[in-house]
Amino acid sequence: MSPLPSSPLALVWPAREHLPDYIAALERGWSTDNLRGAAAARDELAQIAADPAAFLALMDDPDALGPPATLPDGTQRPRIPGLRRWIWDETGFAGSMGLRWTADGGPLPPHVLGHIGYTVVPWKQRRGHATRALALMLEQARQRGLAAVEITADPDNVASQKVILGNGGVLVETFDKGAAYGHVAGLRYRIVLRRHGMNDLPA
């Protein structure tokens, strides 16, 4: 059994002892999928009920062994390597943060809108959770060897834009998300990841 975090906010490896809080959030209508919403929440509740161990195993999938990813229009695409961590504060589950990358280190496929996606449960928003959790996930990206990450936000989601900017994000472009996402506009940000070590020391 993995220990629960003692710090005010942490990213935890999803484990069985965390499931009751996660299930409670899904039952309140929250979902990691901002577009599919309640339908995605129902899907995850069904997966947990059928086989909780298998559901938890998919939270860490560096070899992309999981099932195809379902896009908002219902189409499916091959899964790419990724992991998910749950945001945990002093009162329990606070949200979810995912990291994705390509096996060969190349650009993300067009249907994957960014390396990192995140969502905080509505009843714990406006507490700085997303900003702090993103900083922790950027460290995970460094450990995976990523030199930079791309993160996208909707043009009207000012709160998410502030989270990205607060972690060093730079706006790269406004882009069309593509047919699977209804051809709506998105903002693409880039965060360059500095590696810790001798190169960080002054000359």
- What are the pLDDT digits (tens) for 105-141? 899 999 999 999 999 999 999 999 999 999 999 999 9
What pLDDT, in 10s, does the model give residues 12-24? Answer: 999 999 999 999 9
Is 4 inside any structural domain?
Answer: no
User: Is 135 within the bounds of a domain?
Assistant: yes
- DSSP-assigned states of every residue in 122-164: GGG-SSSHHHHHHHHHHHHHHHTT-SEEEEEE-TT-HHHHHHH
Q: How many domains does the chain have?
A: 1
Specify the CATH number for the domain of residue 70: 3.40.630.30
Distance CA 132, CA 129 (A): 5
Residue 40 lies in a domain: yes
- Quick check: is 67 in a domain? yes
For the whole model, what pTM was predicted?
Answer: 0.88
Of the two residues 90 and 40, the one the predictor is more confident about is 90
What digits encode the pLDDT tens for the residues 51-80? 999 999 999 999 999 989 888 888 999 999
Residue 87 CA to residue 47 CA, distance in Å, equals 21
Is residue 186, in this structure, part of any structural domain at all?
A: yes
Q: For Cα atoms 101, 106, 107, give the angle at the middle one, nearest 5 degrees.
A: 75
Q: Which residue has the higher pLDDT, 38 or 22?
A: 22
Confidence band (pLDDT; 50, 70, 90) for 203?
very low
Q: Is residue 2 part of a domain?
A: no
Q: Is position 137 within any domain?
A: yes
Q: Is the pLDDT of residue 2 over 50?
A: no
* Residue 79 φ/ψ, nearest 5 degrees: -75, 145
pLDDT value of position 195: 65
Q: Strand locations in the chain, DSSP E? A: 9-12, 60-61, 69-70, 76-77, 82-89, 92-100, 116-120, 148-153, 170-176, 185-192
Mean pLDDT of 29-43: 84
Structural domain range at position 168: 9-200
Whole-angstrom distance between the N-terminal and C-terminal Cα of the chain? 45
Is 1 domain-assigned?
A: no
Phi-psi region of 189 (alpha: psi -120 to 50; beta: other; left: phi over 0): beta
Averaged confidence pLDDT in the chain: 90
